[in-house]
């Protein structure tokens, strides 16, 4: 369900902490700085090397090495990390969250994260699951851009606290996102088909092609394998946390491959033509979305 914007709900937001200032978290920080005035953004650095790197990049207003200092007093805490790191953060940030704080995540699966958020976060705080459908095969804060979220769909879980939900929706819409409310279970089913399976296929294809053949690779292989350069730590978590849906969709996809294989094996040219033409029509629908 698409949501209409009302930016007055963001007026009470003065401080935002981002835990995981990589490409997504860094781009979010830059986008907030560009679109809002008066919001102080703190970035958390887990190591000395990360602290030095983030300090030089000037993406956030302040870099903190201490998790408590980063979270304390923040109106919104953003968890922009791999799935199981997000879950780990729920436990770690609990002592430092102020009453009424809103915790959001940018994870690519939602059901497991939402269940753990309700288990670990204090009752006087609010969790709103978020998934902006944008990204890159590049990773790292150095690639951050304030334009990343403009024009993107952001899937938001319908939280029980309506004020917290309105604030989060207003944030994303001000950054140029189209916000759509979708429950966690449905989210994971959808993303398995349109993203998670796509990555499994791309990883598998890249692994399949013999290294000696790569020097002959043309546009088609580059297009199909581009996302196989996605970060391993992020995608291992995504696939495992959504294993039920990804396993089911992988099995369905294998059946589709088997169908192609049998048609080719039996020289069924007319059936192959019909199948490809139907797929061509479907692909035009996909292309028209962008």
**pLDDT tens-place string over residues 141-199:** 899 999 999 999 999 999 989 999 999 999 999 999 999 999 999 999 999 999 999 99
Strands 102-105 and 126-132: parallel
Distance CA 105, CA 94 (A): 15
1 has pLDDT over 70: no
Q: How confident is the model at residue 263 (pLDDT cuts 50, 70, 90)?
A: very high
Query: Is pTM beyond 0.85 here?
Result: yes
CATH number of 7-182: 3.40.50.720
Residues of the chain with CATH 1.10.3660.10: 187-288
Per-residue model confidence (pLDDT) at position 137: 67
Domain 187-288 has CATH 1.10.3660.10: yes
Give CATH 3.40.50.720 domain extents, the chain.
7-182
Interval 66-94 mean pLDDT: 97
Q: Give one DSSP letter per residue of 151-183, joined into a string.
A: T-EEEE---S-HHHHHHHHHHHHHTT-EEEE--
């Amino acid at each position: 369900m698409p949501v209409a914007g009302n930016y007055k709900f963001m007026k009470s937001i003065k401080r935002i902490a981002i835990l995981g200032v990589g490409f997504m978290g860094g781009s979010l920080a830059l986008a907030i700085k560009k679109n809002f005035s008066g919001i102080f953004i703190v970035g958390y650095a887990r190591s000395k090397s990360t602290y030095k790197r983030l300090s030089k990049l000037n993406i956030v207003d302040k870099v903190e090495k201490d998790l408590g200092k980063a979270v304390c007093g923040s109106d919104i805490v953003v968890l922009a990390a791999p799935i199981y790191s997000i879950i780990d953060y729920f436990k770690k940030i609990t002592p430092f969250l102020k009453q009424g704080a809103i915790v959001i995540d940018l994870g690519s699966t939602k059901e497991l994260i939402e269940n753990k958020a309700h288990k670990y976060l204090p009752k006087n705080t609010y969790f709103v699951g978020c998934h902006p459908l944008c990204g890159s095969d590049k990773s790292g804060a150095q690639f951050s851009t304030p334009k990343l979220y403009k024009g993107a769909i952001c899937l938001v879980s319908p939280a029980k606290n309506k004020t917290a939900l309105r604030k989060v929706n207003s944030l994303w819409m001000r950054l140029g996102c189209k916000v759509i409310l979708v429950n966690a279970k449905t989210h994971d089913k959808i993303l398995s088909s349109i993203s998670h399976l796509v990555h499994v296929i791309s990883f598998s294809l890249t692994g399949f092609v013999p290294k000696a053949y790569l020097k002959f690779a043309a546009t088609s292989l580059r297009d199909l394998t581009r996302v196989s350069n996605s970060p391993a730590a992020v995608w291992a978590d995504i696939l495992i946390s959504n294993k039920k849906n990804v396993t089911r969709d992988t099995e369905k996809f294998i059946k589709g491959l088997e169908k192609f294989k049998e048609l080719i094996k039996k020289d069924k040219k007319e059936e192959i033509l019909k199948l490809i033409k139907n797929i061509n029509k479907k692909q035009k629908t996909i292309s028209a979305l962008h």
